Amino acid sequence: MTLDPAYLAYPKRRHGYDHDLFPWSALHERAPIAWPDGKSVALWVCVSLEWFPITPSDTPFRAPGHMQTAYPDYRHYTARDYGNRVGVYRLLDAFAKAGVRASFATNAAIAQRYPALIADIVAAGHEIIAHSTDMNGTIASGLPVEEERALIAASLDILEAATGTRPTGWLSIARSQSWNTPDLLREAGVRFCCDWVNDELPYRFTNGLINLPLNHELSDRQIITVQQQSADSYGQSMCDAFDWLAAEAARYGGRMLPLHITPYILGLPYRIAALETLLAEMTARPECWNASAGEIVAAWEAQT
Amino acid sequence: MAGSIQMMQADPKLYDYAAYRARPKISWPGGKSIAVWVAPNLEYYEIDPPAHPQRKAWVRPHPDVVGYSHRDHSNRVSHWRMAEVMSKHGFPGSVSLSVALCQHHPEVVADANARGWEFFSHGIYNTRYAYDMDEAQERAIIADSIHTVREATGQTIRGWLAPALTHTPRTLDLIEDMGLDYTCDLYHDDQVQPVKTARGRLVSIPYSLEVNDHYGFFVYNMSGREYADALIRQYERLAAEGARPEGCGGTVMCIPLHAYLIGQPHRIGPFSEALRHIAADGRAWIARAGEIVDAWRASSPLPHGEGG
């Protein structure tokens, strides 16, 4: 056996990255960030609002949480939609009780189908981030660029029509992008995306787009659905993370803890108390600055 | 294909069977019962690597944003966090290094070197696999590893952990022939063991899949606290066995790490507590891989070639 000699050639073996999407930079070598009011840990709560058509698309890939059985998959269609009817209202109540302002990464289809929910979210002072059209709106290389451009435009247009405000932030489904996505988002006027999980503070792409990292390892989907941990274990992990970041912030400057929450996962009756407990504990911490994605990006941008 | 089938054997003849009793007794420096080493994998994964006929590098079409950026978290954020915790508790690293990291992010390699860590090779990139390489190709990546690490750190590598754990039937003979003296790729024992190679001077040092943070978090789905507890249980049992009068002497515990996993903010605190426990216990010889191999060679009457 032998391999093609090209397999042992390394044309991009150089200082920095093997791509030009963003420059190489280690977090601890950057100038310290200071959050408003002398706070040191930004608590960013981001909720995904998802509508899964009962006719799943595998182009370019099937979204996590999508339909699993032969048509019609009533069990997954309704269990996911439970999040939009019931779970999300438990979350809204929990946020109100803790005085938390959250970001809602929202499928455009939610605005079209459930305008009352959007009105309640906006009335409570939360932020809307664009999150594709619906859960068939996945992106990966191979998706024709015109289709991707249209998908991004439709997502932004529909949310703007529903809320009166054009979203400035973007979260891709499963955080999946194509090679074209950063430029298409920039072209569509998006200020920041939340897809790349390589950092714990915002940073700039070469094209000017900002990435606000929404750590997938800290998501309820990863910890509860994938790793099968309990809600209490999730809550304990988040508090451990907060404690660590608060200690680190005292030495290195502002840190950020992103909580990525899914209504049909943490919004269940037997899990919601764990979220209420952790929000109460975190918001009581003297280091905690609860902020929306846009506020965190703005505070960061003002210092860099 | 005929050639490769000829090389495939039901028994790869890696070592002789040796039961975990009535072995020559191994003693560690200072009368310690367990040698503990920490093996951070300092890696570079390419965003758009060439395709290998046997294995896909990424699940998604390139760029696999989560796959790539999760690993990149190591270099941007979590290496520094993990390294600081290790230094705080007195644990040097023995680094499983994607040697191209010396070019991409020499700052990370320099930090590890300045902390007194040892380096061994984990291939050029963790997205380039050794399966199907011919002998000249495999010799080329070993030579590249030796040269690259020497240039970057002044160290001469002694060990090998195959890139993404991909091997050929020649790998162990080739690394021995090119001057390396330990492999981290064999998981058959809790003590250093001789390996049956052409010159008989290569040994295996216990690395670990089972307490590897990747297994802890993505195979066994542990929380950070559960993983820290598993490390302490692993340590307690191996420390006790290493001290048994009727036992086989010094055991080895490796803690293989990936900063993008253990260095996440919800996991690093419990991990720090596990290291504190081990460092404070008193039975542990906290060492680097090469030191453990050297102490075993000095202590073991087993044949281990001219390196003895």
| pLDDT tens digits for range A42-65 | 999 999 999 999 999 999 999 999
Distance CA B173, CA B176 (A): 5
Indicate whether B305 pLDDT > 90. Answer: no
Nearest to A175 among B53, B66, B72 (CB): B66
Beta-carbon separation of B265 and A61 below 8 A:
no
Beta-carbon separation of A176 and B60 below 8 A:
yes
pLDDT band of B1, cuts 50, 70, 90: very low
Number of domains in chain B: 1
Residue B307: predicted pLDDT: 43
CB of A19 less than 8 A from some CB of B: yes
All residues of chain B having their beta carbon less than 8 Å from the beta carbon of residue A13 are: 100, 103-104, 124
Residue B2: predicted pLDDT: 38
| Per-residue model confidence as pLDDT tens digits over A236-287 | 999 999 999 999 999 999 999 999 999 999 999 999 999 999 999 999 999 9
Distance in Å, alpha carbon of A115 to nearest chain B alpha carbon: 32
Distance CA B199, CA B112 (A): 32
Tokens 């690993």 — which residue?
A: B71
Indicate whether A199 pLDDT > 60. Answer: yes
Q: How many helices (H) and strands (E) would you count in chain B? A: 12, 9
Residue B294 lies in a domain: yes
CB of A25 less than 8 A from some CB of B: yes
SS (H, E, C) A134-155: CCCCCCCCCCCHHHHHHHHHHH
| Per-residue model confidence as pLDDT tens digits over A218-232 | 999 999 999 999 999
Beta-carbon separation of B65 and A196 below 8 A:
yes
Residue B237: predicted pLDDT: 98
Indicate whether A149 pLDDT > 70. Answer: yes
Nearest to A217 among B4, B222, B264 (CB): B264
Residue B134 lies in a domain: yes
All residues of chain B having their beta carbon less than 8 Å from the beta carbon of residue A198 are: 68-70, 72-73, 76-77
Residue B235 lies in a domain: yes
Residue B15 lies in a domain: no
Percentage of residues of chain B with pLDDT beyond 70: 95
Over residues B97-101, the mean pLDDT reads: 98
Indicate whether B195 pLDDT > 90. Answer: yes
Nearest CA to B77 among A197, A11, A153? A197
| Per-residue model confidence as pLDDT tens digits over B204-231 | 999 999 999 999 999 999 999 999 999 9
pLDDT band of B22, cuts 50, 70, 90: confident
Residue A125: is it exposed, middle or buried by C-beta count within 10 angstroms (0-12/13-18/19+)? exposed
Residue B232 lies in a domain: yes
Q: Cβ contacts of residue A189 below 8 Å, gap of 6+?
A: A156, A166, A168
Indicate whether B3 pLDDT > 50. Answer: no
Selected residue of B42, B62, B74, B76 to mutate for chain A interface (largest A Cβ count, 10 A): B76
Beta carbons of B98 and B258 less than 8 angstroms apart: no
- Long-range (24+ apart) CB contacts under 8 A made by B298-302 are B299/B26, B299/B27, B299/B28, B299/B249, B299/B250, B300/B24, B300/B26, B300/B192, B301/B24, B302/B24, B302/B194
Distance in Å, alpha carbon of B92 to nearest chain A alpha carbon: 21
Beta-carbon separation of A241 and B125 below 8 A:
no
Residue B301: predicted pLDDT: 79
Tokens 């090679």 — which residue?
A: A179
Strands B203-204 vs B193-194: parallel, antiparallel or unpaired: antiparallel
Residue B308: predicted pLDDT: 37
| Per-residue model confidence as pLDDT tens digits over B273-290 | 999 999 999 999 999 999
Beta carbons of A287 and A40 less than 8 angstroms apart: yes
Q: What do you get for the CA distance between the two ends of chain B, in Å?
A: 39
Within 10 A of A212 (CB to CB), how many other CB atoms are there?
A: 28
CATH number of the domain enclosing B85:
3.20.20.370
Beta-carbon separation of A233 and B223 below 8 A:
yes
Residue B68 lies in a domain: yes
Beta carbons of A166 and A188 less than 8 angstroms apart: no
Over residues A103-113, the mean pLDDT reads: 98
pTM score, whole prediction: 0.97
Chain B CA closest to residue A3: B133
Residue B2 lies in a domain: no
Q: Is the ipTM of this complex over 0.90?
A: yes
Residue B7: predicted pLDDT: 65
Residue B8: predicted pLDDT: 81
Nearest to B265 among A28, A226, A244 (CB): A244
All residues of chain A having their beta carbon less than 8 Å from the beta carbon of residue B70 are: 197-198, 216-217
Mean pLDDT of chain A: 98
Percentage of residues of chain A with pLDDT beyond 70: 100
| Per-residue model confidence as pLDDT tens digits over B157-193 | 999 999 999 999 999 999 999 999 999 999 999 999 9
Indicate whether B57 pLDDT > 80. Answer: yes
Mean pLDDT of chain B: 95
Residue B304: predicted pLDDT: 56
CB of A28 less than 8 A from some CB of B: yes
Which domains are present in chain A? 34-301 (3.20.20.370)
| β-strand partners of A170 | A130, A193
| Per-residue model confidence as pLDDT tens digits over B66-88 | 999 999 999 999 999 999 999 99
Range of the domain at B92: 23-303
CA distances to A41, A291, B251, B288 from B302, rounded to whole Å, are: 56, 63, 16, 22
Beta-carbon separation of A244 and B137 below 8 A:
no
